[in-house]
Structure 1
């Protein structure tokens, strides 16, 4: 046999040997692991689910979060609002009124503390024998010796009288009558965040001054209420409400607020009853519109928003967990300080009354990247 014939037969022999080895390997794999499954088309990805929280939620908030459904966003300028509805029924039973309703009807009496008053404390009394009163943290009370805002959620059962923690939002006044009325406003969300983070009185006064200056509504007593009710500010806030409030679905129990420049959610307010949610909605919209619609000097590119933003925020709340804290009225306080969120609320029995939370970190608008000059550039050195 010639050398050429040997080379040719050796090539065919190698091919045959490779086929035998491959067949044997396939047989071994099938015997060891079972027959290969047919390739199936990929299923669409489900919405991301938050991992288990490091600490569980208090029972009423855990049950509530599991039943939430997020609706399509409503937008006005930089602000987007995602209404939230609740699957099924169940919430605090009986008759409930907001602080503004209760003060207007004369059943909620708010006064300075006896003995000349105390800046961080007020007295509240629910004089109705058949109605619960809910006072939300951040609500502004007008009158007394100086205008105040409520530091923590309060539930007043029928006939209950309590002292509540407050903070002054009118730095340059300490005179007047003992009684208070409803100011009809909430502190802006930036001040609410500072309160939830434990800001002291000096920090709150500084935030009020900053807010009034940004709105162009500074006034003699440094009053937040007067700043928010200055005519140009009030007209712009009314325009935002007219755009958003009529579009909110009936039965909504909460709202997630998003910044369309940053493309992310910045806060949420959740209620156990839709009547409380709708009653407080106009003030909540104002509280976010002050920072995300009215204030000047914050130009940017509006990004499209969809429900994925709200789902991500809701999953963040689920992951954060919550724990018990005190409350000056009835029920049990709720707090969350995890996953970059700061939140507070109150429950009554097995039901959530209210829980509000915000993203702790500040929103940073990225700077325009400098364009380097041609030539040699040292890595890490910015060229002007």
Structure 2
């Protein structure tokens, strides 16, 4: 494994564990610095510096066109959802868009039953795809990167996961939109959110459900993480809402340490990124991830 992941892992510091019901969160503080300056998607859109549209009038499901009109890069996070235009989509990979640029980005559809214009430009929906659905999507993206160097996902698996999520939460989604389920469970997700406050210097988190680690997210800048924190919490809680609390399944720092040790054993692959930097992919027996 290359040194880049080892450096990042060694620079992680954990905050005190936060627990509510069957969900536990361990805040992460990165002591290695903040990285380059950039806007998040929401920040750039609020400043009218970022527009997202179909690649053409007819559209193309797995691609969108993004224009960054600002003087700073913009971070588009894997799994962030864009709503509107012909159908809702999520990012297939994390991208740091170059300033003053126009880019075609890879996406997955999150609204199976609509293909008609509802607006001319996309909006940031306020949601990130649930952690487990992101994992399913990322596994197929990784395979396609290895086979043909594309960021395509298994769209059928994404739709199946969204449909299961709706059924498990007893939500009627007329167009098969992931957003319908997330909006229906907003109050439940926000109840958990109130128990997981962000701490000073935090730029990441490890989340456990019923004592099992289900994922980790780290963002280079604390200011960017603070903007993304509510969306990330909801993405993990969405998975927890489909699981019943289990007795005797406790979260611990030791389980987080074991998870990090597993990451260090993952196979690393490096690919060209769509924006700045390189796209690093990690794969283990029970882990799939990217950086």
CA distance in 1, matches of 2:49, 2:85: 18
CA distance in 1, matches of 2:4, 2:65: 28
Match of 1:271 in 2: 219
Match of 2:164 in 1: 210
Q: Deviations over 1:90-123 (max 9, x none)?
A: 23233x2111121122111100012411000001
Match of 1:64 in 2: 8
Selected match of 1:281 from 229, 234, 256: 229
Task: Determine whether 1:98 maps to 2:40.
Answer: yes
Supply the RMSD in Å over aligned alpha carbons: 1.6
TM-score normalised by length of structure 1: 0.69
Match of 1:47 in 2: none
Q: Deviations over 1:256-301 (max 9, x none)?
A: 1112x2x332211112211122221111111110111x226x3421
CA distance in 1, matches of 2:245, 2:18: 20
CA distance in 2, matches of 1:306, 1:203: 32
CA distance in 2, matches of 1:242, 1:223: 26
1:30-109 equivalences in 2 (<5 Å): 56-57=1-2, 59-87=3-31, 89-94=32-37, 96-109=38-51
Q: CA deviation at 1:216?
A: 1.8
CA distance in 1, matches of 2:248, 2:49: 45
Match of 1:51 in 2: none
- Segments of structure 2 that go 5 or more residues without pairing to the other structure are 141-152
Moved over 3 A (4+): none
Q: CA deviation at 1:132?
A: 1.6
Match of 2:203 in 1: 253
Task: Determine whether 1:304 maps to 2:244.
Answer: no
Q: CA deviation at 1:251?
A: 0.5
1:222-261 equivalences in 2 (<5 Å): 222-230=176-184, 233-244=185-196, 246=197, 248-259=198-209, 261=210
Selected match of 1:126 from 68, 83, 95: 68
1:108-119 equivalences in 2 (<5 Å): 108-119=50-61
CA distance in 2, matches of 1:339, 1:202: 23
CA distance in 2, matches of 1:237, 1:206: 22
CA distance in 1, matches of 2:167, 2:248: 25
Higher CA-based Rg? 1
- Segments of structure 1 that go 5 or more residues without pairing to the other structure are 1-55, 346-384
Q: Is the contact made by 2:49 and 2:69 (CA closer than 8 Å) also made in structure 1?
A: yes
Match of 1:114, SS state, is: coil
Match of 1:333 in 2: 279
Match of 1:102, SS state, is: helix
